[in-house]
């Protein structure tokens, strides 16, 4: 028997080059994001279950809302709890109803369709990077995201 292939598989598993079957990242739901509380006059207090995922790869599912100006080449978009969250200027959704999604710079842009998507990427929570003005209005950002499903 050729020992090269089993050794290669072991090496790939040890170096992270091969994912275990069914090893999807944890799912972050809108129900979890909605557990955020706002004490009077204080910053948002995020649930511990959510803060434990800061900087980790997660999975999020929701409705796509374009953020970029070019809807045929989205590199940034919102995933919302509702299909039509309303006018973001007149009647914006609550911050617990939106994830800000950014694809990596080298990604193929996504074409917008009125549909639900599932994305996987690195979760970052409000207050992590004060210099990143783009994420300031959002409680949760998913960076280096990959669209893994569309419905």
CATH number at residue 48: 2.40.50.870
Number of domains in the chain: 1
Confidence of residue 22 (pLDDT cuts 50, 70, 90): low
Structural domain contains residue 10: no
Cα→Cα distances 68→73, 101, 103, Å: 8, 11, 12
From 87, 83, 42, select the one nearest 63 (Cα to Cα): 83
- The half-sphere exposure of 96 on its side-chain side, counting CA atoms within 13 A, is 14
Helices (DSSP H) in 36-111: which residue ranges? Answer: 48-51
- The half-sphere exposure of 100 on its side-chain side, counting CA atoms within 13 A, is 17
Structural domain contains residue 68: yes
Structural domain contains residue 37: yes
- Residue 119 main-chain phi, psi, to 5 deg: -125, 150
DSSP H or E run through 65: strand 57-66
15 or 21, which is more confident: 21
Domain range spanning residue 63?
A: 22-150
pLDDT at residue 24 in the model: 87
Structural domain contains residue 132: yes
pLDDT at residue 11 tops 60: no
Structural domain contains residue 8: no
pLDDT in tens, 123-139: 999 866 767 888 888 99
pLDDT at residue 65 in the model: 85
pLDDT in tens, 37-83: 988 878 889 999 999 999 999 999 999 888 877 777 889 999 998 87
Query: pLDDT above 90 covers what percent of the chain?
Result: 42
């Amino acid at each position: 028997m050729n020992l090269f292939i089993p050794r290669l598989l072991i090496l790939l598993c040890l170096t992270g080059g091969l994912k275990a079957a069914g090893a999807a990242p944890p799912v972050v739901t809108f129900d979890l994001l909605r557990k955020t509380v706002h004490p009077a006059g204080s910053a948002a207090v995020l649930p511990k279950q959510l803060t434990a995922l800061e900087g980790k790869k997660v999975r999020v599912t929701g409705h796509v809302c374009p953020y970029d100006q070019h809807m045929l080449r989205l590199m940034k978009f919102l995933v919302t709890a509702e299909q039509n969250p309303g006018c973001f200027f007149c009647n914006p959704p609550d911050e617990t109803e939106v994830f800000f999604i950014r694809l990596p710079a080298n990604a193929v842009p996504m074409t917008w369709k009125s549909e639900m998507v599932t994305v996987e990427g690195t979760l970052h929570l409000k207050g992590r990077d004060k210099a990143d003005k783009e994420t300031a209005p959002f409680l949760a950002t998913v960076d280096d995201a990959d669209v893994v499903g569309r419905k």
